[in-house]
Amino acid sequence: MNLRFLPARGKQQGLSLIELMIALVLGLVVIGGVAGVFLANRESYRTSEALGRMQENARYAFEVLGRSVRAAGGNPCGVDKVANVLNNQSSTWWANWGNALRGFEGGNATDDTAFPKAIGTTVASRVGGTDALIVITGSDDTGVVVVDHNPTSAQFKVNTQQHGLNDGDVVMACDTDHAAIFQVTNANSSNVTIVHNTGTGTPGNCSKGLGYPTVCTTNATPYQFDKGGFLVKLKAEAWYVGINPRGGRSLYRMLLNGTPQEFVPDVSNVQMQYLLQDATDYAPADSVNDWLKVRAVRVELTTTDPTVRVNGGNLSRTWAVVFTPRNVFQ
């Protein structure tokens, strides 16, 4: 029997140490490249998402601010003459109809006495160096129609029991002749009577006579508002940049009741300038001598995202818009 002898196979050999090191280095290079692309894409996504949020915040801030500025000094009847029988109206921020639109410079130390929220470091305090704005208007969706007005008894009759008015509300009555601002001293929810007497309320009424011009004695300048006129709640808003509960900054709104509300988050700065009648350029608030002559407001707003860092600071963008009040004050 013939035996065939197969050639001996070569011995199987593994990787050398050098080959293993080269493979590891190449693997690390590939993994590093993939990780770099992943991290870059993640940062790009985070930045794009943050920019979208900041743009949305700016858009909403401009929407609410613009709506407020455009309504400044308005009333449902569109009349220019406005009587005001509120006590201490010149020293009460929300009662001073003579300045239905009023701005405040951020670097002006006297703002603390004039503006409803002082500069400070606590939650809802105003941030120093940021501008602020007060807007007062009688244009609102809460109006009811006047059915009858008795100046002697200081009583209005309105068209519905669901008038939404309460004792202490500050309201504006108007017809085709003029408007008048006063405080409700008694609003009966079971009928349609709204009373505007003297002697009660804060600040209270200096007169129950609602004629124009205002005379502050008990029965001075009586006037009977026409049937078909309107009663509407007076709306006052103070806008400013304040410190939010998270330690950042937000756009705040303070209403007539004095309660500050965080309205738009992550607004770090607001700067405002004003275009006066017959002027060719915008001016800061401390250069405005007569707020009734303001024809446009330029608002520059900075939004910030605290979660994204760029060049050693938080990602931020500045936006600018011009608003024009609808109501010609003078």
Per-residue pLDDT tens over the stretch 85-127: 999 887 888 888 878 899 999 866 555 667 888 888 999 999 9
**Dihedral over Cα of 62, 261, 108, 313: its sign:** negative
Q: Over the stretch 30-66, which tens digit does the pLDDT of each residue have?
A: 887 777 776 666 666 677 787 888 899 999 999 999 9
- How high is the pLDDT of residue 6? 55
pLDDT band at residue 7 under the 50/70/90 scheme:
low
Do 191 and 175 meet the contact criterion of CB atoms below 8 Å apart?
no
Looking at per-residue confidence, does 143 or 123 come out higher? Answer: 123
Report the percent of the chain where pLDDT is more than 70.
89
pLDDT band at residue 257 under the 50/70/90 scheme:
confident
Nearest of 146, 145, 202 to residue 170 by alpha carbon? 202
pTM greater than 0.85: no
Residue 5 confidence (pLDDT) above 60: no
Do 262 and 244 meet the contact criterion of CB atoms below 8 Å apart?
yes
- How high is the pLDDT of residue 223? 95
Average pLDDT of the chain? 87
203 preceded by cis ω (within 30°)? yes
Residue 197 confidence (pLDDT) above 90: yes
Token pair of 38, please? 């992943």
How far does CA 191 lie from the centroid of its chain?
Answer: 35
- How high is the pLDDT of residue 19? 77
